[in-house]
Structure 1
Amino acid sequence: MRTKTKAITAAVTGSALGAAGLAWLAMPASAGEAPELPPIGAEELVQSVMATKTPALDGTVQVENNLGLPTTALPGGMSLNLDAAHVYNDGNGNAKLSIEQGANDTTVVRNGTTVWTYNSAKNTATKTTVTDEQPPAQIPSDPAAAATQLMAKVRESSTVAVEGTARVAGRAAYELVLTPKPTEHTVLREVRIAVDAEKRVPLRLAVLAYGSADPVLQVGFSDIEFASQPASEFQFTPPQGAKVTEEQAQLPKRPETADSVEVVGDGWDSVVTGTFPTDALTPKQGPKHGGADANPQQLLSRFGKPVSGAFGNGWVISTKAGSALITADGRFAAGAVTEQTLVDALSAK
């Protein structure tokens, strides 16, 4: 599959990547010679990154995806087809994130304890009241948020080292490398995080798998500026004619996501399990499908390998960065792990 590269203009939020977020990671190429920086220990660098509050900033993010799988053809695959993301953060918890997926735009705006979620395709807006502790949204936003959450998730099951320096988006950075310990069952070889030497903010993140010299999934800034953002960016008014609903103390849900999602295992061996919406694998016909049949199970048979076990029957879809096991009755398990690890996770449910 041809490498797909997109330039995304962005201003960074601190929203969470989420358990399935490895599918969104990317990195732009850096330019210039590696800068000379004072030596720093790996643990000191990790601690400084974890302690850093995401500052107000804006920048351009370049995305490259080398998974080698047409995910839009699979149930739920549209969530992996990110065309563009525009994000803003004021450094004090207020954030705005706009995601483009084909003809649909999803906008999430958090101002204090109010979160607005707007879906342009459905022209629906949801106003949600959250607590101060709740993150803005479970949607990936930027290299800083992605790298920080991933670091927190796998650091205890990793060997961590600082391997040189780099210049990313015109800024000097340390190269932090996390390698899975031998006891892990992941298919990933390492994760490399370029950390801003001054701000201690991740600028670039690359995921490398066994058998591939180049990153399979990458995210990072091609330019960045740490600057205050206008308060108007965090104000939202629903468009005229939009259907507005209100929720109390719940985070807005992403459209077309799975139900009953939970994570089995931890660290590099984490597996996301859940159930697709009831009709996700049901054959469909009608104007939305060009008047022709759309049969998800046929697509799974085309791209996946048939498997069976204590979980029943299903298909395994493999990429360079991991695999997904989808059963005929709509359950799934996915992670950057071996096929047997997916089977074990689903059989345990």
Structure 2
Amino acid sequence: MAPNDSAQITEEDGEARAGRRRVTRYAVPVAVAGVAAATIGLVPALAASGDPDLPKISAQQLIEKIAASDTERLSGSVKITTDLGIPSLGGLTGAMGSSLAPQGAEDGKGGSTADPTTKLMELGAGTHTLRVAADGPDKQRVSIMNDAAEYSLIHNAGEVWAYDSASNEAYHAASPKGADGSHQGKERPAGKGVPATPKEFAEQALKAAGDTTSVSVDGTARIAGRDAYQLLIKPKQAAGSTVGSITVAVDAKTGTPLKFTLMPTSGGKAVVDVGFTKVDFARPAASTFDFTPPKGAKVTQADEDTARESAKGGEGAKDLKELKDRNELNQPKVIGEGWNAVYVLGSSDGASAPSTSDEMPQDAQKFMDALGDKVTGKFGSGTVFQTRLVNALMTDDGRVYVGAVTKDALVKAANQAK
């Protein structure tokens, strides 16, 4: 086994990607789970078949090996287990009904159950098996395998297709800007920024590495039939962070991350465990990336959804300035940095405060009561919704503080902002 060898990462933290957020009182717990899935990643618990004897390598050399990896073609199966310590999102979605459904999907007027924005939320809880394939920067496919159905997301050249066999619905969009290859290191075209392989998770984890992070080589492992080094990433003196450690298994030959495991400071099972169970670095068949909607499938065009959402957002707006102000309220600000970063959503004056909800479904209210913990401070009062990784504080005047930090750290951030 390779010995432990530590190194510090001094590159600056990447800027947080702003995104539109809807702040509603009973959607926040689901958004918290979504942040965990989208920001940290997807990877499985795999049994090791013995630790291989590999040449010694330093942490810096292993990081450079990952960065230099030129793997663009592969196929295989990925197992993802996510344990945030909350009830299944699938059951929650059913309880909340239309509040979590794609806009218009609940009444048959537009929207699509195949929309990746909502479908990939399912990866935020439980264990899932994915089939993945890639052939260069302009062809990728990710399929979520269920007992009686399959959901597939396909990016091929200038198009993105998503298909849900359970509902026989398809979603079609043009590839995001940069999908011709310039997206590398930026945004994945197929998944709207949601990671789907251990490599993408590892890249996000390393972006967060700074002088508050220790990185070491923690032995070797056998993953999906291949020899791998284990890279251990741990926050140093990051009081308030819920991240205990991250382990990345790196293919010894290609430098491709094969497995990603995130352990919380609270101990117990991994919060996120994602890894290949099978992997093949040969070029996938070209037909893998072909897609034609089945006969009778409902097809939703992305530009139709965009137009519908824009029209809905404009209702009651007196002028363009009011629309702009609404959008600005949803742009997150950041308090702190590195492992202790807290993202702030909503206005400072409560202009977009969510309403208390007498209309909240009973099951959704029970869900919130189970997660919620009332807190007070200089900021006023609010409720903290907790998972094993990402937590959120919703203040009574409409602001939301969210991050991979403890309840006390959220209250401290709220007091600091006040």
TM range (shorter): 0.7 to 0.9
The structure 1 residue matched to 2:209, chosen from 131, 154, 175, is 154
Cα distance change of structure 1 residues 304 and 200 upon mapping to structure 2, 3 Å threshold:
same
For the pair shown, which has the larger CA radius of gyration, 1 or 2? 2
The structure 1 residue matched to 2:233, chosen from 175, 178, 186, is 178
Q: 2:173 touches 2:303 (CA, 8 Å); kept in 1?
A: yes
In structure 2, the partner of 1:123 is 169
- Provide the secondary structure at the position in 1 that maps to 2:73: coil
Structure 1 regions of 5+ residues with no counterpart?
Answer: 1-15, 286-292
AA of the residue aligned to 1:242: K
Cα distance change of structure 1 residues 129 and 341 upon mapping to structure 2, 3 Å threshold:
same
In structure 1, the partner of 2:156 is 111
Alpha-carbon distance between aligned partners in 1 of 2:379 and 2:162, rounded to the nearest angstrom = 36
Q: Which has the higher helix share?
A: 2
In structure 2, the partner of 1:244 is 300
In structure 1, the partner of 2:195 is 140
Tell me how many residue pairs correspond in the alignment.
318
Cα distance change of structure 1 residues 24 and 325 upon mapping to structure 2, 3 Å threshold:
farther
- Aligned-residue offset at 1:37: 0.9
Alpha-carbon distance between aligned partners in 1 of 2:225 and 2:380, rounded to the nearest angstrom = 52
- Structure 1 length as normaliser, TM-score? 0.75
- Aligned-residue offset at 1:89: 0.8
Q: 1:148 touches 1:202 (CA, 8 Å); kept in 2?
A: no
Cα distance change of structure 1 residues 78 and 244 upon mapping to structure 2, 3 Å threshold:
closer
Alpha-carbon distance between aligned partners in 1 of 2:148 and 2:331, rounded to the nearest angstrom = 27
Alpha-carbon distance between aligned partners in 2 of 1:232 and 1:49, rounded to the nearest angstrom = 29
- Provide the secondary structure at the position in 1 that maps to 2:63: helix
Q: Is 1:37 the counterpart of 2:92 in the alignment?
A: no
Q: Which moved more, 1:113-122 or 1:26-35?
A: 113-122
Q: 2:238 touches 2:340 (CA, 8 Å); kept in 1?
A: no
In structure 2, the partner of 1:268 is 339
In structure 2, the partner of 1:314 is 382
Q: Give the alignment's Cα RMSD to 1 decimal.
A: 3.8
- Aligned-residue offset at 1:224: 1.8
In structure 1, the partner of 2:402 is 334
Alpha-carbon distance between aligned partners in 2 of 1:346 and 1:106, rounded to the nearest angstrom = 39
| Matches for 1:167-316 after TM superposition, within 5 Å | 167-183=222-238, 185-212=240-267, 214-239=269-294, 240-247=296-303, 260=330, 262=332, 264=334, 265-274=336-345, 282=357, 293-294=361-362, 296-309=364-377, 313-316=381-384
Alpha-carbon distance between aligned partners in 2 of 1:220 and 1:186, rounded to the nearest angstrom = 24
Alpha-carbon distance between aligned partners in 2 of 1:38 and 1:176, rounded to the nearest angstrom = 15
Q: 1:60 touches 1:222 (CA, 8 Å); kept in 2?
A: yes
Alpha-carbon distance between aligned partners in 1 of 2:211 and 2:138, rounded to the nearest angstrom = 27
Q: 1:55 touches 1:89 (CA, 8 Å); kept in 2?
A: yes
Alpha-carbon distance between aligned partners in 2 of 1:307 and 1:326, rounded to the nearest angstrom = 10
- Structure 2 length as normaliser, TM-score? 0.64
The structure 1 residue matched to 2:136, chosen from 91, 104, 124, is 91
Deviations 1:121-173 (A, max 9, x none): 48352322422234212223122221222222335531111121111111111
AA of the residue aligned to 1:299: F
Q: 1:81 touches 1:101 (CA, 8 Å); kept in 2?
A: no
Q: 1:301 touches 1:315 (CA, 8 Å); kept in 2?
A: no
Cα distance change of structure 1 residues 246 and 190 upon mapping to structure 2, 3 Å threshold:
closer
Q: 2:242 touches 2:266 (CA, 8 Å); kept in 1?
A: no
- Aligned-residue offset at 1:300: 1.1
Q: 1:19 touches 1:263 (CA, 8 Å); kept in 2?
A: no
Alpha-carbon distance between aligned partners in 2 of 1:168 and 1:157, rounded to the nearest angstrom = 29
In structure 1, the partner of 2:11 is none
- Provide the secondary structure at the position in 2 that maps to 1:301: helix
Q: Which has the higher strand share?
A: 1
- Aligned-residue offset at 1:202: 0.8
Cα distance change of structure 1 residues 206 and 278 upon mapping to structure 2, 3 Å threshold:
same
In structure 2, the partner of 1:290 is none
In structure 2, the partner of 1:80 is 124
Deviations 1:262-306 (A, max 9, x none): 36244322334446x999984558xxxxxxx44634431233212
Q: 1:204 touches 1:221 (CA, 8 Å); kept in 2?
A: yes
Deviations 1:36-66 (A, max 9, x none): 1111111111122123234322222233334
- Aligned-residue offset at 1:199: 0.8
